[in-house]
Amino acid sequence: MLRFSEVTAKKVWKGTEEGIESEVLLDDLPIDTSTIERLRTVRKGFIDGRSDAEIAKSTAWAESSIRQLKKWWESYLISENPISWRLHIQSLVDLVATLRKRIINPKIGEQAYTGSSIWKWGNRDWRIAPRSWIYIVTPPNLDDEKILKPDYAYLPFLRAHIPNHPFWAQYKELIMKASDLQDKIDDVIISLKKKDAKKAAEASSYQGFLYQYCYKHSWDPKKMPSPESLQPLDDDEINSCESIIAIISKFIPEYKAKLDEIENLLQRIWDDLDPYKTQIMIENGRCPGCPFNLLKKSTNA
């Protein structure tokens, strides 16, 4: 257990940076020379990147005390460089806002779309192509560095700050659910060829159009494509699409429930990515790009 306060530790570290001798520090601090030297050893250990166990051994303090001192040390570096810290945090909060802006909001439809349902985005029925639809209404592959840069260049830092945020797992689950449903739909269309080749051809053609549109227009990491870029269907095409959906529903009894699951999960993702709520988690996290990590490399021992 440490027998001095955070303020005392920070005064020693500040005095060390300013070259103040231990004897001078003793006049203002309620600790002895040995404690000052141990705090200086801790500081140098943090700067050199030594492990908690190594620092504990060299100071004769418990590792739990070293972990507490590390929190004070990070707080000290942040307080000494508040502008750098705030800019770093703000860049990550802005990235969360960018991610959220790239996701359609199923509940209130703040993102631009047309039709009576978000599955009717751009006046097309995307229920026949849920995987393509997900790529339209959410960010592109977050594991693809070529797509991520430069707009998502800070994404690795964001992952490090909020590794337990539900978004990471929910995003993967969303892609998986849409892909699983897509596979079932494709199986239905394949089996339909034996019973109604014409209807199967219509379904494949409609899917193919949506696939191509998705491939051409879903890569912008900052915004969704404009729904106005899609030509609306005529009455015959609408009726044909509805009949295809009806056939799929017969073959996949849980079809509507699966669509609802995807939509509900998408809503949770949008809600959880509230920048103001996420900011608290970001501020409590750490990453290699944090100012104090960069400072540790340049601070004089």
In tens, the pLDDT along 234-292 reads 777 778 888 999 999 999 999 999 999 999 999 999 999 998 889 999 988 888 888 76
152-163 pLDDT, tens digit each:
888 999 999 999
Burial of 185 (0-12, 13-18, 19+ CB in 10 A): buried
Sign of torsion over alpha carbons 281, 282, 287, 290: negative
Mean pLDDT, residues 118-132 taken together: 89
Residue 80 token pair: 């000494």
Q: How many Cβ atoms are within 10 Å of 233's Cβ, its own excluded?
A: 17
Does residue 227 surpass a pLDDT of 60?
A: yes
pLDDT of residue 18: 86
More reliable by pLDDT, 41 or 116: 41
Interacting residues of 145 by C-beta distance below 8 A, sequence separation 6+: none
State residue 109's pLDDT score. Answer: 52
pLDDT score of 298 more than 50:
no
Structural contact between residues 247 and 193, judged by C-beta atoms closer than 8 angstroms: no
Residue 235 near residue 243, CB atoms below 8 Å:
no
**Model confidence pLDDT, tens digit, residues 129-151:** 999 999 898 987 777 766 666 77
The whole-number pLDDT of residue 297 equals 44
Report the pLDDT averaged over residues 26-40. 92
**Amino acid occupying residue 69:** L
pLDDT at 147: 62
280 exposure class (CB count in 10 Å sphere: 0-12, 13-18, 19+): exposed
DSSP for 215-267, written as a single string: HHHS--SSSPPPGGGSPPP-HHHHHHHHHHHHHHHHH-TTHHHHHHHHHHHHH
